[in-house]
């Protein structure tokens, strides 16, 4: 074997079938391997065992409010662009029981002490890894670290994948997050027709790769990957002008465009649920009819849900205009002040999965145009 | 109103049926695991679907299934209201007139003539109306049928003197929490989820169908945006209007949205 060449930062060629053995190895070591699957004419992230579970020869055609699968028949696994789901569901579960309580004379509280699953994420794209980094800043702050998120995050093994065929709703190049991965992964794949080029991103990644059969990548392979990556960058045409964006939005809270988008927005919360960085949640109590058993659950919520901004006596964001404005100004504006980064990674999910076809890049551009007048 | 079982005998519950399919009452009987707890927390005094034993009123909680479609029902609901302290409208017939409110957009007399040899023996009202259009209702539980756990939650909340934990958010939020694929965006299936009250757990989208709107309008529903974005995608004439005019057709928000969708379709046709 070529163990002497295997270092963090080095790249090897891995036969595609070897990914099966790599995933099996991860599973034997206590990781739950989750990755993309073709389901209900879309891509979802679920438990996978190996190549047989991955989508094969799948592309998507994405546009505002529309997503369609395209079958290419090619023996390739990662050509598709992610769909509505993101990895956030594994680190920040949509529903999580915080504790339960039973009244037996006095109230007895029982914290949910189920051990956090150890996930190996397979097929994380550059924008998605950037989104995890954004949520790290939200959930793992110096002053407070969310234990549900932290335990899952710390145990994570990340197999990333370079996007080679971005979709029309992608704008990672504007946000500086992709399509090429630079760091933050354990292993990073670039898919060629006959092999994966694998870049090693961590010592843990190196140790799992070391027991596989791999070879040094040929100059031909490296050239093919480089050209595919360049093509990917060039194929991204959607843009978001980030120049002075927080100030632009926050200095124009009364722009006419907010009224306009407030009329078109359904306030259905889909954008916030598919967004890989949105983190609103609610905590609710489920008391049974005896009044002696209760359970507190944390569940995904949204700033588009009117109850989210309800405080005693009224709603601080009483209409859709104010809720959309809150979402966009937070995502692209005040997020920077709050967490030191934009809340947007340019994945385009909120554009594709908006039933009303609202496109945040267009909304931001429209406000810029309105102000320039 | 407080119904504390510690200080009072178990609150008496009555379940009534008006024009309906009995499905919501069956949902109550389907509670299975919770039925014993329910029966020990309240005194089920009148529930003909479950037992012929009837304890006399007045009752603390009246649960009313069905809509008002006959002159007899229009009188009877007043008596029911009078004998119940607290009244719950159960299911979309009771909250919005139900599927039978489709008659409100046609002539029932014509139907009667088509179906019956002697329609003169029928006594019916021209419109199917909700319970709240006839007598004051304290709480509405939507659904065709209702989510049985919402019924337990309402009774538990009444017993515990707290607000019932009803999700105010649209179906979309429940759909996404379940990790379902959006049938509207990924399949082009018309879906009312964005404007419809949650509580069903996104039952129809989970089965590859669009939301029919049986849980009624959500609290922040933007029907005009829905009509504006859905109607242009109609696969056949008046598809969106037809969807709005189904289970919740008589609910004011659905009624006006269906009219707007019809108008938009006819404008498109004229062009």
For the record, the structure tokens of A247 come out as 């100030």
* Closest-CA distance of chain A to residue B132, Å: 25
For B77-107, how does the pLDDT look when each residue is reduced to its tens digit (9 = 90+)? 999 999 999 999 999 999 999 999 999 999 9
Contact between B150 and B140 under an 8 Å Cβ cutoff? The reply is no
What is the rounded distance in angstroms from the CA atom of residue A366 to the CA atom of residue B126? Answer: 50
The pTM is what? 0.95
**Which residue in chain A has the smallest CA separation from B197?**
A268
* Closest-CA distance of chain A to residue B35, Å: 10
Cα A23 to its chain centre, rounded Å, is: 21
Query: Is a pLDDT exceeding 80 seen at residue B190?
Result: yes
Q: Which residues of A touch B155 (CB under 8 A)?
A: 289
Q: Which residues of B touch A263 (CB under 8 A)?
A: 222, 224-225
Contact between A93 and A148 under an 8 Å Cβ cutoff? The reply is yes
HEC readout, A312-348: CCEECCCCHHHHHHHHHHHHHHHHHHHHCCCCCCCCC
Mutate to test the interface with B, among A80, A92, A267, A280 (most CBs of B within 10 A): A267
What is the rounded distance in angstroms from the CA atom of residue B194 to the CA atom of residue A69? Answer: 23
- The kind and range of the H/E element at A66 are strand A66-71
A299 touches chain B (CB under 8 A): yes
Smallest Cβ–Cβ distance between A268 and the set B179, B180, B194 belongs to B194
* Closest-CA distance of chain A to residue B179, Å: 7
Helices (H), B143-212: 148-159, 171-177, 183-187, 203-206
* Closest-CA distance of chain B to residue A366, Å: 19
B228, B227, B225, B205: which is closest to B215 by C-alpha? B205
Average pLDDT over residues A353-362: 98
CA B231, B234, B236, B239 dihedral sign is negative
Helices A360-372, A320-329: axis angle to 10 degrees equals 90
Q: Which residues of B touch A268 (CB under 8 A)?
A: 170, 172-173, 193-195
> Count of residues for chain B?
271
* Closest-CA distance of chain A to residue B19, Å: 29
Contacts of A94 (CB under 8 A, 6+ apart): A299, A300, B176, B177, B178, B179
Could you please state the CATH topology (level 3) that the domain comprising B12-159 is classified under.
Answer: Rossmann fold (3.40.50)
What is the rounded distance in angstroms from the CA atom of residue A268 to the CA atom of residue B220? Answer: 8
Q: What integer pLDDT is reported at residue A76 of this predicted model?
A: 96
In percent, the amount of chain A with pLDDT more than 90 equals 96
Mutate to test the interface with B, among A44, A96, A266, A326 (most CBs of B within 10 A): A266
Q: Do β-strands A281-287 and A293-300 pair in parallel, antiparallel, or remain unpaired?
A: antiparallel
Average pLDDT over residues A262-285: 97
Query: Is a pLDDT exceeding 50 seen at residue B231?
Result: yes
How far, CA to CA in Å, does B246 sit from each of A33, A234, B18, B212? 44, 48, 19, 7
Q: Is A67 in contact with B185 (Cβ distance < 8 A)?
A: yes
Average pLDDT over residues B2-30: 85
* Residue A45 DSSP label: E
* CA distance between the termini of chain B: 57
Reported confidence tier of residue B9, pLDDT bands at 50, 70, 90: confident
- Residues A50-89 as b/e (b if ≥16 CB within 10 A, e otherwise) read beebbbbebbbebbbbbbebeeeeeebbbbbbbbbbbbbb
What is the rounded distance in angstroms from the CA atom of residue B93 to the CA atom of residue B142? Answer: 9
Judged by average pLDDT, the poorest of A18-22, A153-157, A311-315 is A311-315
A20 touches chain B (CB under 8 A): no
Mutate to test the interface with A, among B10, B43, B173, B195 (most CBs of A within 10 A): B173
Average pLDDT over residues B144-168: 92
How far, CA to CA in Å, does A304 sit from each of A315, A324, A334, B172? 12, 7, 17, 11
**Which residue in chain A has the smallest CA separation from B184?**
A355
Reported confidence tier of residue A6, pLDDT bands at 50, 70, 90: confident
Number of C-beta neighbours around residue A258 at 10 A: 21
What is the rounded distance in angstroms from the CA atom of residue B223 to the CA atom of residue A270? Answer: 16
Judged by average pLDDT, the poorest of B32-41, B57-66, B151-160 is B32-41
Q: What integer pLDDT is reported at residue A4 of this predicted model?
A: 57
* Residue B269 DSSP label: H
Query: Is a pLDDT exceeding 90 seen at residue A282?
Result: yes
**Which residue in chain B has the smallest CA separation from A282?**
B167
Average pLDDT over residues A327-344: 97
Q: What integer pLDDT is reported at residue B3 of this predicted model?
A: 56
A356 touches chain B (CB under 8 A): yes
Contacts of A150 (CB under 8 A, 6+ apart): A139, A140
What is the rounded distance in angstroms from the CA atom of residue B50 to the CA atom of residue A351? Answer: 50
* Closest-CA distance of chain B to residue A44, Å: 8
* CA distance between the termini of chain A: 65
* Burial class, B170, CB count within 10 angstroms (exposed 0-12 / middle 13-18 / buried 19+): buried
Question: How much is the mean pLDDT over chain A?
Answer: 96
Chain A to chain B Cβ contacts (< 8 Å) = 138
Mutate to test the interface with A, among B13, B154, B172, B190 (most CBs of A within 10 A): B172
Question: How much is the mean pLDDT over chain B?
Answer: 94
Q: What integer pLDDT is reported at residue A55 of this predicted model?
A: 97
- Residues B239-269 as b/e (b if ≥16 CB within 10 A, e otherwise) read bbbbbbbbbbbbbebbbebbebbbebbeeee
The verdict on whether omega for the bond into residue A53 sits within 30 degrees of 0, i.e. cis, is no
List chain B domain ranges: 12-159, 171-270
What is the rounded distance in angstroms from the CA atom of residue B43 to the CA atom of residue A50? Answer: 56
Query: Is a pLDDT exceeding 60 seen at residue A128?
Result: yes
**Which residue in chain A has the smallest CA separation from B231?**
A356
Contact between A348 and A167 under an 8 Å Cβ cutoff? The reply is yes
Query: Is a pLDDT exceeding 50 seen at residue A39?
Result: yes
Average pLDDT over residues B13-19: 98
Q: Is B41 in contact with A273 (Cβ distance < 8 A)?
A: no
Q: What integer pLDDT is reported at residue B24 of this predicted model?
A: 97
What is the rounded distance in angstroms from the CA atom of residue A282 to the CA atom of residue A309? Answer: 11
Beta partners for residue A111, in sequence order: A99
A309 touches chain B (CB under 8 A): no
What is the rounded distance in angstroms from the CA atom of residue A224 to the CA atom of residue A13? Answer: 12
Q: What integer pLDDT is reported at residue A112 of this predicted model?
A: 95
Reported confidence tier of residue A1, pLDDT bands at 50, 70, 90: very low
A288 touches chain B (CB under 8 A): yes
């Amino acid at each position: 074997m070529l163990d002497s060449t295997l270092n963090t930062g080095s790249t090897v060629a891995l036969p595609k079938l070897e990914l099966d053995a790599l995933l099996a190895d991860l599973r034997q070591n206590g990781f739950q391997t989750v990755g993309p699957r073709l389901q209900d004419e879309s891509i979802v992230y679920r438990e996978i065992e190996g190549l047989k579970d991955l989508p094969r020869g799948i592309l998507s055609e994405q546009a505002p409010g529309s997503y369609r699968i395209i079958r290419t028949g090619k023996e390739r696994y990662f050509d598709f662009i992610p769909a509505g789901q993101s990895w956030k569901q594994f680190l920040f579960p949509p529903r999580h029981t915080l504790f339960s309580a039973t009244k037996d004379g006095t109230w007895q509280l029982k914290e949910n002490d189920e051990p956090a699953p150890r996930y190996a994420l397979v097929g994380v794209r550059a924008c998605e890894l950037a989104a995890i980094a954004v949520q790290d800043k939200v959930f793992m702050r110096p002053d407070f670290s969310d234990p549900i998120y932290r335990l899952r995050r710390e145990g994570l093994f990340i197999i990333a994948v370079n996007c080679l065929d971005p979709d029309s709703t992608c704008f990672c190049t504007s946000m500086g997050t992709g399509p090429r991965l630079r760091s933050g992964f354990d292993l990073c794949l670039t898919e060629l027709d006959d092999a994966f080029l694998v870049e090693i991103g961590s010592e843990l990644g190196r140790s799992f790769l070391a027991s596989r059969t791999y070879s040094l990548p040929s100059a031909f392979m490296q050239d093919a990957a480089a050209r595919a990556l360049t093509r990917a960058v060039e194929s991204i045409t959607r843009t978001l002008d980030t120049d002075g964006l927080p100030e632009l939005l926050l200095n124009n809270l009364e722009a006419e465009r907010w009224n306009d988008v407030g009329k078109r927005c359904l306030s259905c919360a889909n954008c916030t649920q598919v967004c890989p960085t949105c983190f609103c949640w609610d905590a609710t109590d489920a008391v049974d009819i005896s009044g002696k058993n209760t359970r507190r659950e944390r569940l995904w919520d949204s700033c588009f849900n009117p109850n989210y901004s309800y405080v005693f006596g009224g709603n601080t964001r009483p209409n859709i205009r104010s809720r959309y404005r809150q979402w966009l100004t937070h995502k692209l504006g005040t997020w920077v002040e709050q967490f030191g980064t934009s809340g947007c990674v340019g994945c385009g999910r909120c554009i594709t999965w908006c039933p009303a076809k609202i496109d945040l890049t267009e909304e931001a551009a429209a406000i810029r145009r309105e102000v320039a007048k | 109103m407080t119904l504390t079982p510690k200080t009072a005998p178990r609150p008496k519950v009555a379940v009534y049926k008006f024009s309906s399919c009995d499905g919501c009452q069956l949902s109550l009987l389907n509670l299975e695991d919770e039925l014993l707890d329910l029966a020990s927390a309240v005194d089920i005094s009148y529930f003909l679907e479950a037992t012929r034993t009837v304890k006399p009123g007045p009752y603390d909680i009246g649960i009313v299934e069905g809509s008002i479609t006959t002159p007899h029902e229009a009188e009877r609901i007043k008596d029911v209201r009078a004998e119940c302290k607290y009244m719950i409208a159960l299911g979309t017939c009771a909250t919005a007139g139900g599927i039978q409110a489709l008659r409100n957009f046609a002539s029932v007399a014509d139907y009667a003539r088509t179906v019956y040899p002697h329609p003169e023996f029928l006594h019916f009202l021209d419109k199917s109306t909700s319970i709240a259009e006839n007598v004051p209702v304290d709480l509405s539980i939507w659904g065709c049928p209702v989510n049985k756990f919402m019924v337990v939650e309402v009774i538990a909340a009444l017993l515990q003197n707290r607000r019932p934990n009803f999700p105010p958010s649209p179906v979309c939020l429940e759909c996404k929490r379940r990790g379902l694929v959006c049938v509207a965006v990924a399949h082009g299936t018309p879906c009312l989820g964005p404007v419809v009250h949650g509580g069903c757990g996104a039952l129809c989208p989970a089965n590859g169908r669009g939301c029919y709107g049986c849980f009624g309008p959500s609290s922040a529903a933007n029907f005009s945006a829905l009509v504006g974005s859905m109607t242009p995608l109609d696969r056949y004439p008046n598809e969106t209007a037809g969807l709005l005019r189904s289970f919740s057709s008589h609910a004011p928000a659905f009624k006006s949205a269906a009219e707007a969708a019809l108008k938009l379709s006819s404008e498109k046709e004229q062009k």
